[in-house]
Amino acid sequence: MNSAYDLFPTDKGFFIGRKRVTGIFQTGRRLAIRNNTEPGDELTLIRDYGNKFDERAVRVRDRYGGDVGFIEAKSNDEIAFYMDSGCECIAVVAELDKKSATVGMLVDVFCRCDVVSMERLAASYEEYMRSQLNF
């Protein structure tokens, strides 16, 4: 979890963290992903509000709009929070194992918004997480 005190701005936005992409084998697009995706490629992140398995689901799409998978459920809370707050988040392929049966993928996630908004949102996210832990 990032905090208002450790925000890391880059040319792509504020670095949120490295996340695993899951569900690649379920999209039926493994071959296309293997052939058309490389480390450094920018991917689109979309909130999937109607997902029946995960209320915080974040869908990953390639540059052609094809489904790649989802940000792993156990690490999508912060991304979903920022997206629900109006920030655009993107992913950049960091690691790609094209040899595995399921095409393993790790992405670096970035949030694009101004510094003041990002600091405010990071502080709000910390408060939100503290309230969840005290529940």
Q: Residue 1: inside a domain, yes or no?
A: no
Q: Residue 80: inside a domain, yes or no?
A: yes
> Around Cβ 86, how many Cβ atoms within 10 Å?
9
Q: Residue 53: inside a domain, yes or no?
A: yes
86 lies in which domain range? 8-133
Pair type for strands 67-71 and 13-22:
antiparallel
Predicted confidence (pLDDT) per residue in 20-79, tens digit? 999 876 656 777 888 888 999 999 999 999 999 999 999 999 988 989 999 999 999 999
Q: Residue 59: inside a domain, yes or no?
A: yes
What's the count of helices (H) and strands (E) in the chain, helices before strands? Answer: 3, 7
Predicted confidence (pLDDT) per residue in 5-16, tens digit? 467 788 998 999
Rounded to two decimals, the pTM is 0.83
Q: Residue 76: inside a domain, yes or no?
A: yes
Instruction: Look at the chain and report how many structural domains it folds into.
Output: 1
Return mean pLDDT, the chain.
Answer: 86
The answer for residues whose C-beta is within 8 angstroms of residue 112's C-beta and 6 or more apart is: 12, 13, 14, 87, 88, 89, 90
CATH code of the domain covering residue 22: 3.30.70.2330
